[in-house]
């Protein structure tokens, strides 16, 4: 799956209703954090339900290179032996994060706060992504940036201080990755570090830091209380613990929208994490008229999870407020697909952060819609997709730009368009949803082609 392997095209064709049930893989955000907090703890961390996608495996390899013991006990079951805060060693080689923005940025926070030196690199997609947003606060905390590609990108080398400097930092973008990098560096700072965010973003780092024994105070911040001030007391002793990873709502999104748009479908998606900072897509789809039932809500691994029963639905266009973006930031490609089947325009506001994901997702989505005869417009940072309630033509070939979510979104499109849709390369799907093809085929989807790692 490296960026120099041959492209592996896949084609999705319209067909019979999707039926049955599935459990999506473990949440990617939580899986990264379980490996990282396992590294920074004293003792053993046992993880159940880990996403064994390429992104998380890169983070596990980085944690091992920094000194952690790593053992795979079975499918999704991992044992991490931590080194504790201050106990890491210099990795012998460059940390290659492949396609993984989250893994690279969070480990930059870890390295940036501790007396170690490490070089970060990744694939052609990661090499384009902005890292200044992570380096800026880290430099204030005492990190030295020894070398960086032009414009603050990987490859770059960081040397952390003996002790980090506690700071108060307002994040310049609504980004859980920036927040998390600062909090992870702050673990080795004597005193309280506060991260202020104008819009609340996913809170998995805060929740897991508490689970491992850190003191984290979270208070509402700013007008309307939409923001958060997150204050971490530095130099705690983190103790290894058990982590159960719930199913990833961002992966669930693909079979979910597929079931909504393929006529006659009835699919149950089990164990999906319902953290309100991750459920913006479900809120939006319900507003569009989707039939989604939340069944058997329960607690699993410190998060609320539910089974989602999804039936094919007539959708109508809606306005998606910009404030909702952090709670569904990875779901806009698949929402754009749902919107193509809705009656009337769906306006998605405030999508500027989409330009710096695994690809420029705003451009990649727009291009994919255009290839398949779907009406859209981009106005500033807003995307408007207009459907007439009928299946769009399809028949296009979509460029995925090394972006797993572009590949999966447009394959879902092809399950319900009038003509089949091809994506130019499915290799990156394995970064977040390695079982995507067998899962979708198990529901009855017709997807032709294979990807080999
Ligand atoms: C993530 C945060 C989001 C999201 C990414 C995972 C995380 O990125 O897009 O897939 O686990 O913290 P940003 O923080 O850059 O918005």
Amino acid 209: pLDDT? 98
Give the pair of three-digit tokens for residue 229: 């001030």
Q: Which residues of the chain have pLDDT under 50?
A: 1-3
Say if residues 449 and 8 touch (Cβ distance below 8 Å). yes
Best of 104, 202, 208 to mutate for ligand 1, by most ligand atoms within 8 A of CB?
A: 202
Mean pLDDT of the chain: 97
Quick one: which atom of ligand 1 is closest to the CA of 33? 11
Q: How far is the CA of 252 from the centre of ligand 1 (A)?
A: 16
Amino acid 2: pLDDT? 46
Q: How far is the CA of 180 from the centre of ligand 1 (A)?
A: 10
What domains can be seen in the chain, in order of their start residue?
A: 10-26+246-448 (3.65.10.10), 28-239 (3.65.10.10)
Amino acid 4: pLDDT? 57
Best of 51, 101, 431 to mutate for ligand 1, by most ligand atoms within 8 A of CB?
A: 101
Q: How far is the CA of 395 from the centre of ligand 1 (A)?
A: 32
Is the dihedral angle over the CA atoms 355, 356, 360, 361 positive or is it negative?
negative
Q: Of how many residues is the chain composed? A: 453
Amino acid 216: pLDDT? 98
Residue 75, judged by CB atoms within 10 A of its CB (0-12, 13-18, 19+), counts as: exposed
Rounded Cα distance, 43 and 53, in Å: 25
Residue 63, judged by CB atoms within 10 A of its CB (0-12, 13-18, 19+), counts as: buried
DSSP codes joined into one string, 104-118: HHHHHHHHHTTT-EE
Q: How far is the CA of 249 from the centre of ligand 1 (A)?
A: 13
- Ligand 1: which residues within 6 Å by Cβ? 29, 102, 175-177, 180, 202, 329-330, 353
Amino acid 59: pLDDT? 98
Quick one: which atom of ligand 1 is closest to the CA of 176? 14
User: Per residue in 395-452, pLDDT tens?
Assistant: 999 999 999 999 999 999 999 999 999 999 999 999 999 999 999 999 999 999 999 8
Query: Could you give the 3-state DSSP secondary structure of residue 265?
Result: coil
């Amino acid at each position: 799956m490296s960026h120099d392997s041959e492209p592996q095209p896949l084609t999705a064709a319209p067909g019979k209703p999707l039926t049955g049930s599935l459990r999506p893989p473990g949440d990617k955000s939580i899986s990264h954090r379980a490996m990282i907090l396992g590294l920074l703890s004293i003792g053993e961390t046992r993880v159940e339900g880990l996403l064994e996608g390429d992104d998380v495996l890169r983070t596990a390899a980085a944690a091992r290179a920094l000194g952690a013991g790593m053992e795979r006990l079975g499918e999704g079951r991992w044992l991490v032996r931590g080194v504790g805060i201050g106990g890491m060693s210099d990795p012998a080689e460059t940390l290659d994060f492949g396609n993984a923005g989250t893994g690279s940025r969070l480990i930059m926070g870890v390295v940036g706060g501790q007396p170690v030196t490490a070089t970060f690199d990744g694939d052609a997609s990661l090499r384009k992504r902005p890292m200044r947003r992570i380096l800026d606060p880290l430099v204030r905390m005492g990190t030295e940036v020894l070398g960086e590609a032009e414009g603050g990108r990987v490859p770059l080398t960081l040397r952390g201080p003996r002790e980090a400097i506690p700071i108060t930092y307002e994040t310049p973008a609504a980004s859980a990755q920036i927040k998390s990098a600062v909090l992870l560096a702050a673990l080795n700072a004597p005193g309280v570090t506060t991260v202020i965010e104008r819009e609340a973003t996913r809170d998995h780092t805060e929740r897991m830091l508490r689970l491992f024994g850190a003191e984290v105070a979270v208070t509402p911040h700013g007008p309307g209380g939409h923001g958060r001030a997150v204050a971490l007391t530095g130099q705690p002793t983190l103790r290894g613990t058990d982590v159960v990873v719930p199913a990833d709502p961002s992966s669930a999104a693909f079979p979910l929208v597929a079931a909504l748009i393929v006529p006659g479908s009835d699919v149950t998606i089990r164990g999906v994490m319902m953290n309100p900072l991750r459920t913006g897509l479900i809120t939006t789809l319900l507003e569009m008229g989707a039939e989604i039932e939340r069944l058997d809500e329960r607690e699993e691994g410190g998060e609320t999870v539910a089974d989602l029963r999804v039936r094919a639905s007539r959708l109508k266009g809606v306005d998606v407020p910009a404030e909702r973006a952090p709670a569904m930031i990875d779901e806009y490609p698949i929402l754009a697909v749902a919107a193509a089947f809705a009656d009337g325009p769906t306006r998605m506001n405030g999508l500027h952060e989409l330009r710096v994901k695994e690809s420029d997702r705003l451009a990649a989505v727009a291009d994919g819609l255009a290839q398949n005869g779907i009406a859209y417009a981009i106005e500033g940072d807003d995307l408007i997709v207009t459907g007439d309630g009928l299946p769009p033509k399809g028949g296009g070939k979509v460029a995925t730009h090394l972006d797993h979510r572009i590949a999966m979104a447009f394959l879902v499109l092809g399950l319900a368009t009038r003509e089949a849709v091809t994506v130019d390369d499915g290799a990156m799907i394995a970064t977040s949803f390695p079982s995507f093809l067998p899962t979708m085929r198990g529901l009855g989807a017709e997807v032709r082609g294979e990807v080999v790692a």
